[in-house]
Amino acid sequence: MSILEQVQADVRTAMKAGERERAAALRMIVDALQQDAKLGKGDEVAVLQRERKKRLEAAEAFGDAGRKEQAAAESFEADLVEGYLPQQLSDEELAELVAAAVEETGASEQKQMGQVMSALMPKVGGRADGKRVSAAVRERLGS
């Protein structure tokens, strides 16, 4: 079952249970996934990561502006999206993947970071945020 099919099933469940807020948030996820599918990209994990990031940034902005209710709603949606993402890599797992990618590419300095990232990101497969991966590579290569 694809992520889209799972979310659609969860929308139906939420509707039957009378959970309007949850159903509305799940519909937002369905819309984003369907939009991506229409464009032919088909990377559901990337869509979910992008949607989660948008919600977290919005929650922070609303929180900074003193709009607690909107911030809570955005955080709720971000948490909901996170539930459909694959299990995130632990710091140890990420460090092992970074070490293997550095060895594989033969990189030894910062200017070779792009090569390491290119080799590493397919192996990470959406199980770690790009910012986190980049920081780990930078640390490994010695900033």
> Could you confirm whether domain 3-82 is CATH 1.10.1510.10?
yes
Q: Give pLDDT, residue 59.
A: 95
Condensed to tens digits (0 to 9), the pLDDT of residues 88-136 reads 888 899 999 998 998 888 888 888 888 889 888 888 877 888 888 899 9
Say yes or no to pLDDT of 139 above 70: yes
At the top level of CATH, which class does the domain 91-141 belong to?
A: mainly alpha
pTM, 2 dp? 0.74
Cα 120 versus chain centre, distance: 16
Residue 2: pLDDT band with limits 50, 70, 90: confident
User: Any alpha helices (H) in 1-143, and if so which ranges?
Assistant: 3-16, 20-38, 44-64, 68-82, 91-105, 113-124, 130-141
Domain limits, the chain: 3-82, 91-141
Say yes or no to pLDDT of 143 above 70: no
Q: Give pLDDT, residue 51.
A: 92
